[in-house]
């Protein structure tokens, strides 16, 4: 995507559901632990990290034994409520292993559109960073009605990058980056290594693919990239399954 600064100091990392579950219906504990290890390694270099995480609904389904539920908003809110507790308990446990302090922030679109609430969120975020606490952010799905939802954590991470005045946004996904077509169905698809302008042709190439448990596809990542670059951040899209992907990128 856009060219990152040579030595980014404040970095937002977005972990999608497909990364955290490794494409399954369960949270992949070894992968989560390894990503936490990578975050600790990068923070050890003196950089500030902010984690935007998906996975609450997947964690909720797992925690409740994969119940058969209607696909309505209250059921999704219930799963997110149950899952958010489980998700954060795992993060807390894994970051404790590396002596990393973490703090939770749950946001909605309303928090980022109201000037007063935006400033409150920014002040809380900056206070966490000032005390060397790693913020872990998710959308507050348990209370967010449709009209105040951001809708996907790709765009939420871009808004957080602007909120935090971050130098770099890293979107970790189940693909190694942006392709000219969906590589899962088109064997001729080519990896696009750098994007300087997002236009209709690029959005068409991104398509509308989504993971089974997530809400974001490559098109939403392009929208997020556009938002983040307008806010002054560089953007990288990379595969979360790559060994030591974060230290290698930063």
What pLDDT, on a 0 to 100 scale, did the predictor assign at position 71?
A: 85
What pLDDT, on a 0 to 100 scale, did the predictor assign at position 209?
A: 46
* pLDDT reading at 98 higher than 60: yes
Q: Which residue is listed with tokens 């690029």?
A: 202
The share of the chain scoring above pLDDT 70, in percent, equals 82
Alpha-carbon distance 1 to 197, whole Å? 9
Q: What is the DSSP letter of 3?
A: P
Which SS3 state, helix, strand or coil, does residue 178 take? Answer: strand
For 46, list phi and psi in degrees, rounded to 5. 90, 10
pLDDT in tens, 119-169: 999 999 999 999 999 999 999 988 766 644 566 788 899 999 999 999 999
Alpha-carbon distance 25 to 88, whole Å? 18
Alpha-carbon distance 171 to 185, whole Å? 22
pLDDT in tens, 194-236: 666 665 666 665 554 444 444 446 777 888 888 898 999 999 9
The rounded mean pLDDT for the chain is 86
CATH topology of domain 10-249: Carbamate kinase (3.40.1160)
Nearest to 54 by CA among 29, 24, 88, 78: 88
Which SS3 state, helix, strand or coil, does residue 152 take? Answer: coil
């Amino acid at each position: 995507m856009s060219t990152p600064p040579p030595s980014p100091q404040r970095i937002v990392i977005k972990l999608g559901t497909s990364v955290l579950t490794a494409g399954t219906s369960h949270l992949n504990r070894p992968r989560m632990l390894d990503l936490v290890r990578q975050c600790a390694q990068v923070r050890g270099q003196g950089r500030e990290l902010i984690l935007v995480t998906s996975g609450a609904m997947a964690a909720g389904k797992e925690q409740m034994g994969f119940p058969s539920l209607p696909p309505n908003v209250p059921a999704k809110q219930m799963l997110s409520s149950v899952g958010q507790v489980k998700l954060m308990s795992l993060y807390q446990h894994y970051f404790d292993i590396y002596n990393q302090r973490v703090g939770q922030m749950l946001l909605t679109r309303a928090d980022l559109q109201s000037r007063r609430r935006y400033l409150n969120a920014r002040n809380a975020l900056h206070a966490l960073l000032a005390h060397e606490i790693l913020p872990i952010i998710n959308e507050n799905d348990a209370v967010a009605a449709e009209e105040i939802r951001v809708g996907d954590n790709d765009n939420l991470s871009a808004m957080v990058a602007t909120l935090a005045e971050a130098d770099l946004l890293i979107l970790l996904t189940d693909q190694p980056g942006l392709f000219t077509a969906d590589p899962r169905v088109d064997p001729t698809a080519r990896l696009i290594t750098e994007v300087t302008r997002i236009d209709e042709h690029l959005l068409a190439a991104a398509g509308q693919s989504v993971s089974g448990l997530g809400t974001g596809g490559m098109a939403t990542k392009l929208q997020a990239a556009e938002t983040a670059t307008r806010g002054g951040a560089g953007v990288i899209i990379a595969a979360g399954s790559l060994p030591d992907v974060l230290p290698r990128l930063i």
